[in-house]
Amino acid sequence: MPDALMRRLKHLAAERKSTLRELIIHSVEQHLDSPSVSFKIRNASVGGPEDNEVSSQQIQKAISAINEPMFRA
């Protein structure tokens, strides 16, 4: 456990007049009892499905165009 987290836990346990063990058990139980949060990312793509396909040759050409000025210097 990271030292900074341990210090925070010890401080919080002291504030609550509880033991470190009790605080950790309570926190873990609370986390396990809470429903998992799920979400769906909305489709934010632009253009049709045909616009999403890129060949390896196109990728290599783009990389070469970026790197070309570095090799000319």
Mean pLDDT within 42-60: 73
Residue 13: which residues within 8 A CB-CB, separation 6 or more? 19, 20, 22, 23
In this predicted structure, what is the pLDDT of residue 58?
Answer: 85
Domain residue limits at 18: 3-33
CA atoms of 56 and 71, how far apart (whole Å): 22
What is the rounded distance in angstroms from the CA atom of residue 72 to the CA atom of residue 34?
A: 58
Intra-chain end-to-end CA distance of the chain, in Å? 49
- Whether 53 is covered by a domain: the verdict is no
Q: pLDDT (tens digit, 9 = 90+) per residue, 11-39? A: 999 999 999 999 999 999 998 888 877 77
Q: Looking at the chain, list the stretches that DSSP marks H as alpha helix, in order from N- to C-terminal side.
A: 3-15, 20-33, 56-72
The total of structural domains in the chain comes to: 1
18 located within any domain: yes
